[in-house]
Amino acid sequence: MTAVIDRPTANVDVAAVALPRVLTSVAVSSMVAVSLAPSLLPRSAVVQAILTGLLAALGWGFASAWHHRPRRQRAGDPAPSRESARLPVLLAGAVTVAATMLLADHWQDSLRVAMGVPTVGGGHWAQVVVGAAAIALILAAGTRAVAAGVRRLGAARSAAIVAALAVATQFWAGPALWQSRAQAYHAANATVDTSLRQPVSPSISGSPDSLTSWDSLGAQGRKFVSAGAASGAVRTYAGIDSAPDQDGRVRLAVRELERAGGLAKSTIVVAVPTGSGWIDGNAAQGLEQRFGDDVALVGCSTRAPRAG
């Protein structure tokens, strides 16, 4: 006689187990939304992908660290969330990220229109999604590998490796990155917009009477002064190549403002450019509409990386 014993079978929801935990979904989607917040300058697809990937990995790391706390620190935690909550929270996070991306697309396009550069399209955001996902996955895998390596090597050997990497970054990776950034900046600054015409009014920098040559103003400086050529206001600008150093550019900007008659205006506006030398043309135009010809705008490029 054979006895048959029925063993209880656990009902496991495979789909729920495969989904990320509630805290992970909340943390990652929140950090991705933060990475898409409005910026003062347009972001390229590469920059946005790096920022989003870094913050997404940071959110994942926070959730992972919270879930792997020592047991003694979990005594006061509330009861764990039900597996059925994972899918709704994941979908809510996806909707939040999608809505934030639409708002970011609108904001980035408005910035680009204001700066006179091409707007973004679907390809831009496709690159962002793919790049950010790759960066986040690489960082997550790297974090786990580092943690496993530290456990295997011990604290002393791990500290020695970190010190070696820090030295390599200081003397090789850092200078290489700075040099690459400097070359990219100077290439962009040297771009010549053939639609712009050199001013002839003595109240505008870059004119034949100006102390700052047309070529030395840079791409953004030429845009700034050209936009004011039709008005009677004073627009002066000192570009990165207008003087060898920052002090020289400041002194030149003051002398140029005085030469152009800016000190005789009742309103003088010091426009602080961004790192690329860009000055908000809409703001400058609004000031000229408000004060008419009785306003002077002066800009001076700040420090920029020097290509070796």
End-to-end Cα spacing for the chain = 91
- Please name which of 292, 187, 277, 179 lies closest in space to residue 230, comparing C-alpha atoms: 292
CA distance 295 to 75: 67
Q: Which residues are paired to 238 by β-bridges?
A: 300
Cα 189 to chain centroid distance, Å, stands at 19
Which residue carries 């792997």 as its tokens?
A: 68
Q: Which residues are paired to 299 by β-bridges?
A: 237, 271
pLDDT for 65 equals 80
Residue 261, φ and ψ in degrees, nearest 5 = 85, 15
> How is the beta sheet containing 267-271 ordered, strand by strand?
234-238, 295-300, 267-271
Q: Which residues are paired to 145 by β-bridges?
A: none
Per-residue pLDDT of the chain (308 residues; tens, 9 = 90+): 455 445 554 454 544 457 888 888 999 999 999 999 988 878 888 999 999 999 999 888 888 888 776 655 555 555 555 678 889 999 999 999 999 999 999 999 988 887 777 888 889 999 999 999 999 999 888 888 877 777 787 777 778 877 887 887 777 777 777 777 667 667 777 777 888 899 999 999 999 999 999 999 988 899 999 988 778 899 999 998 899 888 999 999 999 999 999 999 999 999 988 877 888 888 898 899 899 999 999 999 876 555 54
Amino acid at 278: W
